[in-house]
């Protein structure tokens, strides 16, 4: 009964023209690699956290093949949003669609507190922090500030569920919460203050893997990059 994590599945079974194969040889056959590695690693008693960029579909109603693929894999899956998950809508609607399809091994994380093997999991999408990219816009700033508020809400939900902070806290986010030089941001400060033990993130691909902190340690929080290509498409055990 372990907890694993992987992000950036970028599934294109529902939208074949968006296959990641075009992004270099490292992505060739990636969906088959994900399936094989997942089935070798994860059991039906385990949980896998998938932190965004899950399906290329625009609307969830058009993503059935991608969710069927996820549902067929071993274990319970908890999904949070990435910047390419345009299909993402309210949790109530997503849960209804999956229930109608009979896909019962998938749940969603969006500032709610979810119990898992005695631990608490929450999350949000995140966004690039100010000064992290050269073409940062006012719209980027607006989104980032919104994600800060969502992070505060998520931590409040953890505090409601566990006011004494006795259980481990895991935060799912898509964008790396620290700067490229690994210095803290408002988001990572909130995680330290909120008692987050482990933060799993994705988003970084190819040459951007050089920004991953291999030690994975912040002030209080352990950060684990779970981008699928960074992991060789194999879910990594975090607990």
**Domains of the chain by start residue, with CATH:** 3-237 (3.60.21.10)
For 18, the 3-state DSSP assignment is: helix
What is the predicted pLDDT for the residue at 180?
Answer: 82
Contact in structure between 74 and 53 (CB atoms under 8 Å): no
Residue 5 has pLDDT above 80, yes or no: yes
For 211, the 3-state DSSP assignment is: helix
Q: DSSP labels for 146-198?
A: HHHHHHHHHHHHHHHH-TT--S-EEEE-SS-SS-TTS---HHHHHHHHTT--E
For 130, the 3-state DSSP assignment is: coil
Whole-angstrom Cα distance, residue 6 to residue 227? 6
For the segment 115-149, what is each residue's pLDDT rounded down to a tens digit?
Answer: 999 999 999 999 999 888 888 999 999 999 999 99
For the segment 101-124, what is each residue's pLDDT rounded down to a tens digit?
Answer: 999 999 999 999 999 999 999 999
Cα within 13 Å of Cα(26), Cβ side: 11
What is the predicted pLDDT for the residue at 217?
Answer: 62
For the full predicted model, state whether its pTM sits above 0.75.
yes
CA 66 to chain CA centroid, nearest Å: 16
Query: Band of the pLDDT at 214, cuts 50, 70, 90?
Result: low
Spatial CB neighbours of 157, under 8 Å, sequence gap ≥ 6? 111, 112, 113, 122
What is the predicted pLDDT for the residue at 184?
Answer: 87
């Amino acid at each position: 009964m372990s907890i694993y994590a992987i992000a950036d599945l970028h599934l294109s079974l529902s939208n074949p023209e968006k296959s990641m194969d075009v992004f270099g040889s490292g992505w060739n056959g990636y969906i088959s690699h994900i399936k094989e590695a997942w089935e070798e690693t994860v059991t039906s008693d385990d949980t896998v956290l998938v932190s965004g960029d899950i399906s290329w579909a625009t609307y969830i109603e058009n993503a059935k093949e991608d969710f069927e693929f996820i549902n067929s894999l071993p274990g319970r899956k908890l999904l949070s949003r990435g910047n390419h998950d345009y299909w993402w809508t309210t949790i109530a609607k997503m849960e209804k669609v999956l229930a109608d399809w009979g896909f019962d091994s998938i749940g969603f994380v969006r500032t709610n507190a979810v119990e898992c093997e005695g631990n608490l999991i929450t999350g949000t999408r995140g966004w690039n922090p100010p000064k992290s990219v050269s073409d940062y816009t006012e719209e980027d700033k607006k989104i980032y500030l919104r994600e800060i508020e969502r992070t505060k809400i998520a931590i409040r939900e953890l505090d409601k569920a566990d006011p004494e902070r006795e259980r481990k806290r895991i935060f799912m986010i898509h964008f790396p919460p620290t700067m490229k030089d690994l210095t803290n941001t408002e988001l990572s400060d909130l995680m330290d203050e909120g008692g987050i033990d482990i933060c799993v993130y994705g988003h970084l691909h190819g040459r951007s893997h050089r920004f991953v902190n291999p030690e994975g340690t912040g002030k209080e929080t352990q950060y684990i990059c779970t981008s699928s290509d960074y992991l060789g498409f194999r879910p990594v055990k975090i607990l």
